[in-house]
Copies of this chain bind each other. A is one copy, B any other.
């Protein structure tokens, strides 16, 4: 995937940047000001050469013998990932999993705010109240365009997923975190990350057989 006017960073590097960011956050919490590439690489579970290569993509180099400034490197990675400011995200499909994710606090801590939810049955009685308003599907497009929403979490049943994905793409969303167990067809400029919890369990299941 091309990034307008920027060097294209491999997808696996982007994932590792997220890992480095978390390791750096723990160092910060422990009051540590600088870290060697060896120590940071070890904490992240990668080789030091890999770490240095990953950071070199956006021109960050440690000082020989001193390593990296923890705060500075965190900020650089956050900026690169686009999470240095709180990003608005919408969630579509407020079933059990969707409802759960709406109240999951882990997102906000990492720079994402679920600002609204959408569902085919917005008024249906649910297990608990949500902080976010639940809108009908007809309101999705106008909302996303007005608020300039680029990211969505998709937690609708498999049968509805492709149609909803089309709606999201038409509304200008370019990143979809898909929990529905189907392969979505989207234009090339749209990125889909799939999370299928049942498949992860099934995969473990294979390996835990005696």
Residues of chain A at the chain B interface (Cβ within 8 Å): 1, 3-4, 9, 11, 14-15, 17-19, 21-22, 26, 44-45, 80-83, 87, 89, 96-97, 99-101, 103-107, 109-112, 127-128, 150-151, 153, 158, 174-177, 181-183, 191, 193, 195-210
Contact = CB atoms under 8 A, between A and B. Distances in A.
A93 to B, nearest CB: 12
A4 B209 CA distance: 9
Given A104-B197, A107-B197, A112-B201, 19 more contacts: A3-B209, A11-B203, A18-B196, A18-B198, A18-B202, A81-B206, A82-B206, A96-B103, A96-B104, A101-B197, A107-B198, A128-B128, A151-B205, A174-B207, A175-B207, A177-B200, A191-B207, A193-B204, A195-B195
A72 B34 CA distance: 59
Contacts of A206: 9, 14, 17, 80-82
A200 B209 contact: no
Contacts of A202: 18, 21, 81, 83, 110-111
B107 A96 contact: no
A58 B109 CA distance: 45
Nearest to A191: B207
Contact of A203 (B18, B89, B183, B203): B18
Contacts of A128: 127-128
A182 to B, nearest CB: 8
Contact of A181 (B22, B174, B191): B22
A60 B210 CA distance: 22
B195 A197 contact: yes
A158 B177 CA distance: 22
